[in-house]
Structure 1
Amino acid sequence: MAEKRSLFLGFDFGNEDIQICCYNQKTLEPESVTLRKGDRPYFYPSRIGLKAGAKEWVFGEEALELQEKGLCQVADNLLKRTEDGTETMLYDTAYPPAYLLEKLFRKCLTLVTLKFPGEGIAKLTVTASELNESIRTVLKEVFSNLGIKEDRLILQSHSVSYEYYALSQKKELWSNDVGLFHMDEEEFHYRQISINRKYTPIPVGITQRDFGDILDYEEVLKGDKERLEYCFLNLAKSLLHKQLVTTIYVTGCGFEGDWADNALKELCVGRRVFKGQNLYAKGACYAARESEEEEKKKEFLFLDSDQVTSLLFIEGIKNGKSTEIPLWDGYKAWYEGPLVQEFILTGDNCLKLLVKDLFTLKKEYHEMILEGLQVRGDKTTRIEISASFKDRKTAVINVYDKGFGQMIPSSGLSWEQEIKL
């Protein structure tokens, strides 16, 4: 009998641990999957070990226990190694990230299968702190080898998983902006979600501020509770001053324990505050489920911290009417390839560019003078415009004189201008 594909899963893939959530079709909410016994049963160490003198692979807690006894060598920091493309040496053999991750995620999927026998995966979302092209390429290869092709796989950053989680809660929890404090072994930051209800679909953007220089996980380990609470509360109050923030979420291993509880109680005045460790896995699970719901996909447009939140236009004539012609596909990540278009100049050699912010609705006009270019009155001045980005806030406009077929050769002239968004 064919396997029924009814599971919607969210994997939070970290350097230290993996968490898995599965969407409960009865409660209509994601639920954490128990992955092992003992403390922190929902956390599975993202470790893979090779036993000494054998070709047997071990995983998670077992790998760590055998490593302590000197019976195996362990590959750790797999997310970081995937990001950097770094191989791991185990008993004088180099293993690429894709090879190790395929074994690790096969083990995770086996654990899921044991929990839900006879049920297949309809959609799986993998979320991680950051997803560069190297990580995306490796994860696509890994899950394809495990039988989960791209039509059933979603890859997204923690930023987007946070957005999915926050906007899947009761509407009163996101009637205004939403904030998140995150602290783990590597970073401490604050992310705030902004929603612009004036567009359809509704853009959901995010801003991030890093505060690792003020407070970090090492300070938490030292255990000076009074100092920790004082620093965190003052920082949070300064961030939230005059901000319309409905809800605050707190997550990451740095917030385990009770050192921040009194500070969080103070932050509850006028807003709701929640603390937990499965926000990203649940957000990933919501994304997997909602990918099947066309109306939900049309309602919101979830933007990553890498995505450009400004629209870029050139003023021109189309079908005989003045119009704003898009120069950049809105909401693309800044590092994606340029958008290249051709235009005919009919007036002068001055291009009028417009930048429109999606959230503040602020408009800024820029002029680009194509010095040395003669604009012919017979509509034979053809140019190519390429729009790309140096970073999320710096657009680069390149213009090239294309000539006009065999009639008029190109002058070879080109122009470049940077625009700060």
Structure 2
Amino acid sequence: MFLGNPDRKGGAGAFIGYDISDRYAQISFWLPGADKPETLSQVMGEEEYMIPAVLCRRRDRDVWTYGREALKNAEAGEGVLVKNMLSRALAGESVEVEGECFDAAVLLSLFVKRSLSLLSGALVPEKAAMFLFTVDEVNKQTIEVLSRVAALISLPPDHVSCQSRGESFFYYNINQPEELWRHQVMICDFSGTAMKLLMFEMNHHTRPVTVIVREDTYPEIARRLPPEEELVESEKQRMDERFAAVLERVCSGKIIDTIYLIGDGFEGDWYTRSLPVLCRGRRVFQGNNLYSKGACYGARAKQQPGENGQNYVYLGKDMLKANIGLEASFRGQDSYFALLDAGVNWYDARRECDFLLNEDHSFSLRITPLTGREVKEVAVTLDGVPERPARTTRIHLTVFLSDADTVQLKMEDMGFGEMFPASHKIWEEAFSLKEENDQKKEGDRV
């Protein structure tokens, strides 16, 4: 297995993308000086990127094996297999193995650590410039669990992040030749039970260009997991017909430059009828490492934003969708101080600054949505500010998000030097980024 230039061992400045699900993990890495990321293969000279996300506790000795070795041990009756570790860790479950209970998050961290040992010939993960997990969906629980996993395997917390597979798709696309993504791009993901389609769409009427990834699941195109036996001919034909019908419907009226086929569900020749529909005036690629490579590109973008990262902004479910800034006065002129930029993950969005409070103890934030909606202002008034002359109260402002649509503000009175000592009084406020119409729609659904 080729692991890059041995002169660059250590990993300082490298980026690691780690795609993890209940079934498999994949690892891509980008060494300093390399043109693009590489994906770790378990077999030299072959594209064996999928590491089975399982552990096995051996019965003959207190040893945990992982991946393919774990599957072999369990099949031979030499130990107990543990699977579905990600979903079990997210659910806060314990895993019982022959009467002994283990924290699922701890077992997940053990699997991640063992799988990262495959990188030992190339780099040390703890020294990477950024280690980025990519998962199906990012929420508070995902962040908490993956942060804990990172801490358990001694990854520096300020060099670890996570993003959704939709965002990894975005970063992978904008780092490909432009002719592959000039219009729309689609992923057909058959790595799970049912087929999922992810559609990359751009809005060229905004600056920067905003990108969304629409995701839909098609339960009519489904399979049994784990695949215990090969599909019979009638099942292949039925699934092929349904896939072709979905493609005809989804692609109708769209200009799709490229389609990627992802997942072990595409192994075999069951989609012969669908193939001509897939290839109709577009490029089609099959592989399994798009998400982990996209995580590498995303890791670099977080550390070293490039031109495409400035010209294109991804607006996923877990992204901040508006620019947020402070309306201020500088030398008698109205000015704007940027606080948070649209396109960052809400859980990464945080900014602190100091400013002098005006006479009426209020300030305003300007909210500029990238969705084309109107700019709005949020006025904040602080009650109970100590009596002082005008503009002698310094406020320390912290801005962060508690979810993708809720902005949290924390203000602390810092006084004004020795003349007006700080009271350290704290005010906290929150406001929603959702439009009133959006909130009414959600209320109607409830």
State the TM-score, normalizing by the size of structure 1. 0.72
Could you tell me how far 1:72 is from its partner in structure 2?
0.9
Q: For 2:22, what is the secondary structure of its paired residue?
A: coil
Q: 2:72 aligns with which of 34, 40, 65?
A: 65
**Aligned residue number for residue 308 of structure 1:** 320
Could you tell me how far 1:307 is from its partner in structure 2?
0.6
| Paired residues of 1:340 and 1:387 also in contact (CA < 8 A) | yes
Query: Aligned pair count?
Result: 405
**Aligned residue number for residue 165 of structure 1:** 172
Alpha-carbon distance between aligned partners in 1 of 2:365 and 2:159, rounded to the nearest angstrom = 40
Residues 84, 186 of structure 1: CA spacing in aligned structure 2 closer, same or farther, 3 A cutoff? farther
Q: C-alpha root-mean-square deviation of aligned residues, in Å?
A: 5.0
Residues 36, 272 of structure 1: CA spacing in aligned structure 2 closer, same or farther, 3 A cutoff? closer
**Aligned residue number for residue 249 of structure 1:** 260
**What is the one-letter code of the residue matched to 2:62?**
K
**Aligned residue number for residue 284 of structure 1:** 295
Alpha-carbon distance between aligned partners in 2 of 1:326 and 1:4, rounded to the nearest angstrom = 39
Q: 2:202 aligns with which of 180, 184, 194?
A: 194
Could you tell me how far 1:322 is from its partner in structure 2?
4.5
Alpha-carbon distance between aligned partners in 1 of 2:113 and 2:351, rounded to the nearest angstrom = 39
| Unpaired segments ≥5 residues, structure 1 | 371-377, 407-412
Q: For 1:363, what is the secondary structure of its paired residue?
A: coil
Alpha-carbon distance between aligned partners in 2 of 1:388 and 1:419, rounded to the nearest angstrom = 12
**What is the one-letter code of the residue matched to 1:72?**
G
State the TM-score, normalizing by the size of structure 2. 0.68
**Aligned residue number for residue 142 of structure 1:** 152
Q: Is residue 111 of structure 1 aligned with residue 118 of structure 2?
A: yes
**What is the one-letter code of the residue matched to 1:194?**
M
Alpha-carbon distance between aligned partners in 2 of 1:288 and 1:336, rounded to the nearest angstrom = 13
Alpha-carbon distance between aligned partners in 2 of 1:35 and 1:312, rounded to the nearest angstrom = 45
Q: For 1:65, what is the secondary structure of its paired residue?
A: helix
| Paired residues of 1:182 and 1:189 also in contact (CA < 8 A) | yes
Residues 166, 398 of structure 1: CA spacing in aligned structure 2 closer, same or farther, 3 A cutoff? closer
Residues 327, 33 of structure 1: CA spacing in aligned structure 2 closer, same or farther, 3 A cutoff? closer
**Aligned residue number for residue 375 of structure 1:** none
Alpha-carbon distance between aligned partners in 1 of 2:367 and 2:153, rounded to the nearest angstrom = 39
| Paired residues of 1:161 and 1:283 also in contact (CA < 8 A) | yes
Q: For 2:10, what is the secondary structure of its paired residue?
A: strand
| Paired residues of 2:260 and 2:285 also in contact (CA < 8 A) | yes
Residues 74, 367 of structure 1: CA spacing in aligned structure 2 closer, same or farther, 3 A cutoff? closer
**What is the one-letter code of the residue matched to 1:87?**
S
Alpha-carbon distance between aligned partners in 1 of 2:323 and 2:181, rounded to the nearest angstrom = 25
Residues 365, 249 of structure 1: CA spacing in aligned structure 2 closer, same or farther, 3 A cutoff? same
| Paired residues of 1:9 and 1:125 also in contact (CA < 8 A) | yes
| Paired residues of 2:301 and 2:309 also in contact (CA < 8 A) | no
Residues 109, 136 of structure 1: CA spacing in aligned structure 2 closer, same or farther, 3 A cutoff? closer
Q: Is residue 5 of structure 1 aligned with residue 10 of structure 2?
A: yes
Q: For 2:123, what is the secondary structure of its paired residue?
A: strand
The C-alpha deviation readout for 1:338-368, integer Å capped at 9, x for no partner, is: 8799896789x9x99865332x544354788
Q: Is residue 75 of structure 1 aligned with residue 89 of structure 2?
A: no
| Unpaired segments ≥5 residues, structure 2 | 1-5, 382-388, 421-426, 436-446
Could you tell me how far 1:306 is from its partner in structure 2?
0.3
Q: 1:333 aligns with which of 345, 360, 372?
A: 345
| Paired residues of 2:364 and 2:380 also in contact (CA < 8 A) | no
The C-alpha deviation readout for 1:78-103, integer Å capped at 9, x for no partner, is: 11123223222222222224532343
Residues 135, 191 of structure 1: CA spacing in aligned structure 2 closer, same or farther, 3 A cutoff? farther
Q: 1:420 aligns with which of 434, 437, 441?
A: 434
Alpha-carbon distance between aligned partners in 2 of 1:25 and 1:390, rounded to the nearest angstrom = 35
Could you tell me how far 1:55 is from its partner in structure 2?
0.9
